[in-house]
Amino acid sequence: MEFCPSCGLLLQIDPGTGSHRLRLFCPLCPYVCAIQNKIVRKAKLVKKEVEPIFSNADAMKLAPKTATSCPRCNHGEAYFKQMQIRSADEPMTTFYRCCREECQLEWRDD
């Protein structure tokens, strides 16, 4: 951010037209200055920590089961958990995890 040296107001960007380059100007007084350096805005990307739907194997002992077919191994039973991940007027999303030890595939049904 750049400020006017005369009045201290925040300078605004004047988009150059034709042969005019970008410049900063004060909306209150007649101060104008050409932009010498590139205007760069850097922001760090903060990755969101992904929380697992089914936390661990001990939680599976208490999780409810349902009769559904696993897309990978076609096992006929899966653990499930329902969560409201969209707005309140949308239906809940059901997350499944295959009961078969060798598979353990997780999928969702919107």
Residues whose CB falls within 8 Å of the CB of residue 88, separated by 6 or more in sequence, listed in order: none
Q: Which band of pLDDT confidence, cut at 50, 70 and 90, is reported for residue 69?
A: very high
pLDDT digits (tens, 9 = 90+) for 7-47: 989 999 887 666 667 888 898 998 988 877 776 778 888 88
Which residue numbers belong to the known binding site for Zn(2+)?
Answer: 4, 7, 26, 29, 70, 73, 98, 103
Give the pLDDT mean for 70-96. Answer: 89
Whether residues 62 and 105 share a domain: the answer is yes
Q: What is the pLDDT of residue 54?
A: 65
For residue 21, the model assigns a pLDDT of 74
pLDDT given at position 34: 81
Locus of tokens 């350096």: 37
Rounded Cα gap, residues 98 and 34, in angstroms: 64
Looking at the structure of the chain, the number of domains it has is 2
- Locate tokens 């194997």: which residue? 57
pLDDT at 60: 67
Residues 62 and 92 in one domain: yes
Same domain, 30 and 61: no
Q: Are 95 and 59 in contact (CB under 8 A)?
A: no
Provide the CATH number for the domain around residue 20.
Answer: 2.20.25
Binding residues: 4, 7, 26, 29, 70, 73, 98, 103
Q: Are residues 61 and 34 in the same domain?
A: no
Check residues 84 and 110 and name the one with the higher pLDDT.
Answer: 84
pLDDT at 56 over 70: no
Parallel, antiparallel or unpaired: strands 77-83 and 93-98: antiparallel
Is 91's pLDDT higher than 70? yes
Mean pLDDT of the chain: 84
**Which range of residues forms the domain containing residue 7?**
1-38
* Rama region for 18: left / alpha / beta (φ>0; ψ in -120 to 50; rest): left
